[in-house]
A and B are shown apart, each in its own frame.
Chain A
Amino acid sequence: MRTLKTREAAAMLSVSPNTLRAWERRFNYPRPQRTPGQHRVYVHAEVAALRDALQAGLSISSAVSRAREALSGDTSVLVGALSSYELDRADAAMEAAIALRSVERGVEEVLLPSLEEIAARWGTDSASWALSARWADGWLRWAHKLAPAPTRPMTIVIGDATADPLEPEAIAVRAFELFCVRSGARVLTLPVRRLVDVGEVVTAFGPQAIVLAGEGVGDTEVARWAYQVRLAVGPMPVMLYRRATDGDGVRSTSALPDAPYDAHRQALSAAEPAPERRTAAGGRFTRETARSLA
């Protein structure tokens, strides 16, 4: 995927970088991504679509609307492929989508909206939904495998509280997991119903944050799992993702936004070890350091 720095994007549109930032605030378009150094980078295809739309446009709003429309064709193709059970074509549609966007944007703007449309058309109790959800789950796992090795001294434990891997929430949790991994964090996903040895497993990874994701499992079971984890690794931020209620037994601190991209940014920020909390040995935050801080 080709990206542009702010100055390059501004030059392509014949505007100043300040104008580009003003458009981001007012129109939320073009929507930049952030580099690890927090600099804005723009997707070339988005900027090019806006440039074309501006030429015949009567307002920036209408040009933005046209540009978005031009890029949303991928969703129609993916919905069409999944509706006609052509999974190879679905793969090709996602490949085309991420040729123009980052994987994160491809998932948020094409994959997830397409699944929402399939769910609305056929219902999540249909075989069509099951086929589509399984394809999406497989695609997300494939993208996970291709993600680069962890680059941050950070591990997030996801307590998977979804009831069924084919439920819509489970797909969102997979997307959240993928985004965290692609951001360089190490992610350990464990089902909350598996309690035996959970402390030992989690301790081996030395996590900095816990995310309880999905609402297919009751509060009591989730609280029991979270208690075991915190007993093993000490106090740390606990966040809820796609989980509506903060159960009686779970002393959670915050609910993450529904959109996986926003959620992963917030989770990474919460898990980022403060400089003074880093250990001398490479910034790893182990059970011992957690206990010493508790």
Chain B
Amino acid sequence: MSASIHGLPSRFGDHDAGELRDFCGHCGQAPDPSSAPVGATRVCQHCDLGLVLQASEAVAPSPEDPFLVVDNRMAICALSSAAEKLLGVDETAAVNRHLGEFLMPADANANGSGSLIELVLGAAAGDGGVERVRVRPLGVFGVRFSARIGRCGPTPSAIVVLER
């Protein structure tokens, strides 16, 4: 696994989810490997509006993927530009709000092990691997997404990537 995020010491820690990949939490682009480490702030040099994050190759989003980053209180910490468009909310308005204000399990009966909340909390707590769940935007019926959920860093958190 890589030991750093774009030249910075990683606090993400070792785990068995495979190779780690860096990406911007706003535009989803991978940092330019030829650019010098960006220093303490990890600011994306493509869009200037996101921080470089890290997730396993299996869960890391590609630039066009809508995704959300959620902490262990289920509060949204980052929202990609594609997710802003998909959910109709700006990141600045979504940050610190509960994930449940935007997404809910597509299966109304899914409240036990394997539910959206449990998977997100598990990933934010450091569970390895990638889980999948069906979700829908809150208050929207007939629209469902497959979401992959995994661990994200450097600060322990979960990433929810919506697959269209």
What is A's interface to B at a CB cutoff of 8 Å?
A: 13-16, 18-19, 22-23, 26-27, 51, 54-65
Contact = CB atoms under 8 A, between A and B. Distances in A.
B38 A62 contact: no
Contacts of A18: 48
Contacts of A14: 38-41, 43
Contacts of A19: 43, 48
A contact patch SS = helix
B95 A61 contact: yes
25 contacts: A13-B41, A14-B39, A14-B40, A15-B41, A18-B48, A19-B48, A22-B48, A26-B92, A51-B41, A54-B43, A55-B41, A57-B51, A57-B77, A58-B25, A58-B53, A58-B152, A58-B157, A59-B51, A60-B49, A61-B91, A61-B95, A62-B77, A62-B95, A62-B96, A64-B92
B139 to A, nearest CB: 23
Interface in B81-127: 91-92, 94-96
Contacts of B152: 58
A58 B48 contact: no
Interface residues of B, number: 27
A62 B70 CA distance: 11
B52 to A, nearest CB: 10
B28 interface: no
Q: Determine which residue in B41, B49, B53, B96 has the highest number of CB atoms from chain A within 10 A of its CB, and name it.
A: B41
Contacts of A63: 51
A27 B51 CA distance: 14
Q: Which of A26, A51, A62 has the most CB of B within 10 A?
A: A62
Interface centre among A55, A63, A64 (most CB of B within 10 A): A55
Interface in B15-64: 25-26, 38-43, 48-51, 53
B42 A54 contact: yes
Given A22-B49, A65-B96, A59 B91 contact: yes
B2 interface: no
A23 B92 CA distance: 11
Contacts of A56: 154-155
B41 A59 contact: no
B39 to A, nearest CB: 3
A65 B51 contact: no
Contacts of A60: 26, 43, 49-51
- Nearest 7 A-B pairs (CB), nearest first? A14-B39, A59-B78, A58-B77, A19-B48, A61-B95, A54-B41, A62-B77
A15 B77 contact: no
B147 interface: no
Nearest to A56: B155
B40 A55 contact: yes
Contacts of A59: 25-26, 50-51, 69, 77-79, 91, 95
A60 B39 CA distance: 15
Contacts of B154: 56
Contact of A58 (B38, B41, B69, B94): B69
A15 B95 contact: no
Contacts of B94: 61
Nearest to A21: B48
Interface in B66-84: 69, 71, 77-79
